[in-house]
Amino acid sequence: MRASLARIALIVATLAVASTSMARDVLPRAVGRAFLDHGVPLNRVAIVVQEIGKPKPLFAYDAERPMNPASVMKLVTTFAALEILGRDYRWKTEAYLGGPILNRTLKGDLILKGYGDPKITVEQWQLFMAALRANGLDAIDGDLVLDRSYFSLPLYDPASFDGEPLKPYNVGPDALLVNFKSVRLLFTPDAIAGTVSVNAEPRLDDVVLGRPPTLDASDCGDWRSTVGASFVTTADRASVAFGGRYAANCGERDWWVALLDHPHYVHAAFTTAFRDAGGKFTGSLKERRAPLGAEPFASLESAPLYDIVRDVNKLSNNVMARQIFLTLAAVMYPPPATPAKAGDAVKRWLKSRKVAIPGLVIENGSGLSRHERITAGGLAR
């Protein structure tokens, strides 16, 4: 399907270049037929072909009708971010001490404050833990306190878009997002032993894996269906059981799933990573604001925005786009950021560039929305 649509785009571009005088909103017959042959109604199509730097398009079809852009909306969010925040913008995540350190043991809580970093991977999280240890922290005689107040978000239902709450593309934003709130299930067959192992990355104490599927010699096929996975997940705990089979000729495969809620995921990820770094922590989870004016004990800095933008657009990462979208609000208005403020920030930016897009609706900046609308002409402008 993707290749077919690419051929359609090539037809449009070729026709447009060949005839710059072609009437607006008249779709060439060959192009219209190609869309219809692939089940795309013409009332779902809008096209603009425009040379970069030129004020007018070579060809336009239904270019000023607001339509649901899906992931194309990420281009608006990331372009706005590059201009508003600057290409070298970096997010930070900070750790504060809730008491004194005596003999390398914190007598009090450790407080983590997030500022919406879109891409704290497992590797970066490990670096953060290493920084805590390098600064003299071996053990925590207290709890883990999370400050997620940089964003103020409505209650989020990850199943609301398409009924798939475990899909990582449905993860909601959070001021303290770690590893996209996701776990990688790695399936590794051992043909000699006749077994398959299933491991979770990162390892989280609150995610329990049951007995693995049985190994057999069938075709790989739709392996995720045949392993018979059953997920039971709550805000603070998840279990995965496998009642099916795994084909040896599948080789090593992985399956990303979104588990737990944001604060419990961070607590579980911290507990594991700090322990793996040689630290000791058995405390519980709390939430409150970090002390005003306090000096961070350690901090983690993100990759620059231009790297983040590349990932967002090449990988079409929804939650990263949502994080960037909310960051626009936190920078242009006093925190906490809200989706409404973020939408206003984008519209203010468009107005400052004298770009008018009638009918623009920007809900979360990722395009994973039933409500977002933009015109093809607006995108081209």
d(CA 287, CA 264): 11
Helix segments in 94-239, DSSP class H: 122-134, 223-226
Distance CA 147, CA 17 (A): 54
Q: How far apart are CA 285 and CA 265, in angstroms?
A: 10
CA 146 – CA 93 distance, rounded (Å): 11
| 3-state DSSP assignment of residue 70 | helix
User: According to the 3-state scheme, what is the secondary structure of 307-337?
Assistant: HHHHHHHHHCCHHHHHHHHHHHHHHHCCCCE
Question: Residues near 156 by Cβ (< 8 Å), separated by ≥ 6?
Answer: 172
Distance CA 2, CA 8 (A): 10
Buried b (16+ CB within 10 A) or exposed e, 28-38: beebbebbeee
Write down the pLDDT at residue 53.
87
Report the distance separating Cα 250 and Cα 91, nearest Å.
39
Spatial contact of 67 and 74, defined as CB atoms under 8 Å apart:
no
Domains by residue range for the chain, with CATH: 1-63 (no CATH), 69-90+303-369 (no CATH), 92-157+262-301 (3.50.80.20), 168-258 (no CATH)
Q: Please tell me whether the peptide bond between 69 and the residue prior to it is cis, using omega within 30 degrees of 0.
A: no
Residues 6+ apart with CB under 8 A from 329: 337, 338, 339, 341, 342, 344, 345
Alpha carbon 373 to chain centroid distance? 20
Helix residue spans in the chain (DSSP H): 2-18, 29-37, 73-84, 122-134, 223-226, 262-276, 305-315, 318-332, 339-352, 376-380
pLDDT recorded at residue 16: 45
Query: Which residues partner with 201 through β-bridges?
Result: 184
Nearest residue to 175 via CA among 153, 148, 145: 148
Q: What is the pLDDT of residue 25?
A: 66
Residue 163 per-residue DSSP state: S
pTM of the model: 0.92
User: How far apart (Å, rounded) are the C-alpha atoms in residues 204 and 44?
Assistant: 44
* Per-residue tens of pLDDT for the chain, all 381 residues: 555 544 444 444 444 444 444 445 688 899 999 999 999 999 999 999 999 888 889 999 999 999 999 999 999 999 999 999 999 999 999 999 999 999 999 999 999 999 999 999 999 999 999 999 999 999 999 999 999 999 999 999 999 999 999 999 999 999 999 999 999 999 999 999 999 999 999 999 999 999 999 999 999 999 999 999 999 999 999 999 999 999 999 999 999 999 999 999 999 999 999 999 999 999 999 999 999 999 999 999 999 999 999 999 999 999 999 999 999 999 999 999 999 999 999 999 999 999 999 999 999 999 999 999 999 999 988
Tokens 């600064």: give the residue: 135
Q: What angle do CA 373, 378, 381 make, to 5 degrees?
A: 155
